[in-house]
A and B are shown apart, each in its own frame.
Chain A
Amino acid sequence: MPRLMKTGIEGLDRVLCGGFLYHNSILLKGAPGCGKTTLGIQTVYNGATQFDEPGVIVLFEQFPQQLYRDLMSYNWDLDGLVKQNKLRVIFSEPSQVLSKDKMADPPLIAEIQNAVMEIGAKRILVDSVSHILNVAHDAHSARELLLRFINGLKTIGLTPLLTAEAENREGAIGLDEYLTDCVLLLSSEAAKDKTFHIRQINIRKTRGHDHVRGRHVFQLTNKGVEVYPRLPEKTTEDERAEGSGLTKVSSGIKGLDDILGGGYTRGTSTIIAGMPGTYKTTLGVQFLVKGAEPNEHGLFISFSEQPQFLARLMQEKGLPVAEKVKSGELDVWHFIPKEIYMEEVLYRLEAEFKKGRTTRLVVDAINEIERSIEDPGSYKDIMAAFLTLCSAYGVTSLFTQKMDKQSGAQPLADINYASMFDGIIFLGTIEIESSVHKVISVLKMRGGNYSSDLRELTCDAKGLSVKDKFVGLSGILSGNVKGQYKKNVEELFQPLYFIRDFIHMIADTPMEESQRAGILENLKSESNKLVDKLKTHFDVKK
């Protein structure tokens, strides 16, 4: 395996399968303002500061002092590097690439060679070669000139990075692309449904070395260029995080742990699907806040609620989100789908997982992911990337999904990509005798036994509780409920038994008049209450 020249931009090095081959010429091509100069300078700067590889920057249009000033916004002290003999910045004229005669080196190459000898430079950025091409009289001489210049740089031991303006004609391949070994096309376009431009890197070729194909999103951040590889590498079943096994982690709800056979299976991903208002978000938060062991770290990614609003909402349910965030046991990330690339979320998530502290993740809600993706066909890939990441790092995750309709006995039919998830929990509503009840059911859970009972889900100031089965009722999911809810039967029969038994006692048991009067008073009161209950139950008006 040949030694590779790292750019020091983590996402880009990953896309480049480790970096560039030394002495390959690299073309950074794109429209003005898309970030090619920043990317080139960052590669040279990182070389000097991280890899002990001094560099040279050749500028044709911008003065060095102006460049130093602009780059201080990234905290890159180029002037300091120059003083430490780790960098040389040459301001030149494009005409300096022209030789006086065919045998002599062009003046610019000679100047660069001096710099290389002074500081031992390994990397060079030339910004931009479009100027060089402009000094040639025709296409043939432009080709000769550029090839000679690139080879001149290689001969003195440099790995050249060359910026170039993109052709105006769509799909056109410039001369510079034929003459260089690696081509990175940078673009910045207005994105559909986004409030900003989407920047992408498309690696057209890397001669002699592999790279990850496809378009990779990048951003200009306050640290310079950040590249978010299209998708994280796939993880095979064998590579799943060690120790995930089939152990269980608490859901934070005792009744749910019981029906899950102890809790969610560690390291698995479960979808929580339900109509609006069925406690999907609360179920996720309770998993992070009440289910976690002391000092266990959880992450909540919200694509809808603002963190402050979420915290207030959950406080009313006895789930102290703000307190957990303050103590460092919980992080809440909030993204507005229109203002974020999913690649960036995945990149940040992987960086978080790499810290090794996060063991629980909730993503609320995946419908927003689907809405934010430009190409609907890539939704499945993005979801697969989320699940792969969680699996690789042994993180137990819940993904909420808002359902538009509840189609009776076939709830799975409305859950997108249900087969991708290890577990599926369905949340719904049912109406029993004019009263709406929330219902929870585990439809699938990989690893261990679970009960597929339909249970009542309630919420109070202490959070969610999973209650009894709907004993006595059938056809709940289809919406065609049959039978009598045993809880209601109990409410009606308990006073009825009381009335019956106490009438017998009055008739059969000797007792004092005052005691008899007391019982009769209770019977009167209970029979009145029973009549009222029956009226409500059977909707009798009089």
Chain B
Amino acid sequence: MPKTILIADDNESVRTILKLTLQFKGYNLIEVDNGAKALETLKTTEVDLLISDIDMPQMNGLELLAALRADPKFASLPILICSAEQDATEENIVARGASGFLTKPCPPSELLGAVAKFVG
């Protein structure tokens, strides 16, 4: 059974690259363009990993992270934050409850390596 990964990013071309990269490894993918839609999807769909951008309309990645970690149902969901924000570092993003952090632009080899740590 392939693992399901939810991608939340408002940039369509970035979503396409992430999708092509992850499809290469045979993952099942769902994509949304903001945090609010990601939250809705997670409530109705079983997901093995969430990859989220930070700067998104409506609900940004940090708000999404906080909402998920506040809900016991998502306490153990692996969440990988992938962002170009200058203030974001692995240390402060993990301190907010993320499982991992990648700086954008992110080479596919790094992405696949990080994803493998959470979903094999």
Give chain B nearest CB distance to A30 CB in angstroms.
61
Indicate which residue in A469, A493, A504 contacts B105 across the interface (CB closer than 8 Å): A493
Q: Using Cβ atoms and an 8 Å threshold, which residues of chain A touch B60?
A: 254
**A495 near B86 (CB under 8 angstroms)?**
no
Instruction: Give 1 or 0 for each of B81-111: 1 = CB within 8 Å of chain A CB.
Output: 0001110000000000000000011111100
| A118 CA to B120 CA, complexed, in Å | 105
Is B67 engaged at the interface, CB distance under 8 Å to the other chain?
no
A519 at the interface (CB under 8 A from B): yes
CA distance A491 to B109 in the complex (A): 18
Is A111 part of the binding interface, using a Cβ–Cβ cutoff of 8 Å? Answer: no
Is A501 touching B105 in the complex (CB atoms < 8 A)?
Answer: no
Check if A494 sits within 8 Å of B85, measured CB to CB. no
Residues of B within 8 A of A323 (CB): none
The answer to whether residues A489 and B105 also contact, given A465-B57, A467-B55, A471-B84 and a CB cut-off of 8 A, is yes
Asked if A537 CB lies within 8 Å of chain B CBs, one says no
Give the docked Cα–Cα distance between A498 and B23 (Å).
Answer: 13
Q: How far is the CA of A526 from the CA of B109 in the complex (A)?
A: 17
Contact A486 B84 (CB under 8 A): yes
- How extensive is the interface on chain A, given as a class? 20 to 34
In the complex, chain A residues 435-485 whose Cβ is within 8 Å of any chain B Cβ: 460, 462, 465, 467-469, 471
Instruction: Indicate if the CB atoms of A494 and B20 lie closer than 8 Å.
Output: no
Query: With contacts A462-B58, A487-B84 known, is A494 near B24, CB below 8 A?
Result: no
Question: Residue A220 at the B interface, CB < 8 A?
Answer: no
Instruction: Give the size range of B's interface with the partner.
Output: 20 to 34
Q: Are B84 and A505 in contact (CB under 8 A)?
A: no
- A interface residues, Cβ below 8 angstroms from B: 254, 460, 462, 465, 467-469, 471, 486-487, 489-491, 493-498, 500-502, 504-505, 515, 519, 522, 526, 529
A300 and B106 alpha carbons, distance in the complex (Å): 47
Please indicate the chain A residues that have their CB under 8 angstroms from the CB of B13 in the complex: 491, 494-495, 529
Distance, CA A468 to CA B55, complexed state (A): 7
Complex alpha-carbon distance, A468 and B84, angstroms: 10
- A-side contacts of B16, CB under 8 Å: 526
- On chain B, the residues within 8 Å of A505 by CB distance are 24, 109
Task: Determine if A519 and B57 form an interchain contact, defined as CB atoms under 8 angstroms apart.
Answer: no
Among B8-24, those with CB < 8 Å from A are: 11, 13-14, 16-17, 20-21, 24
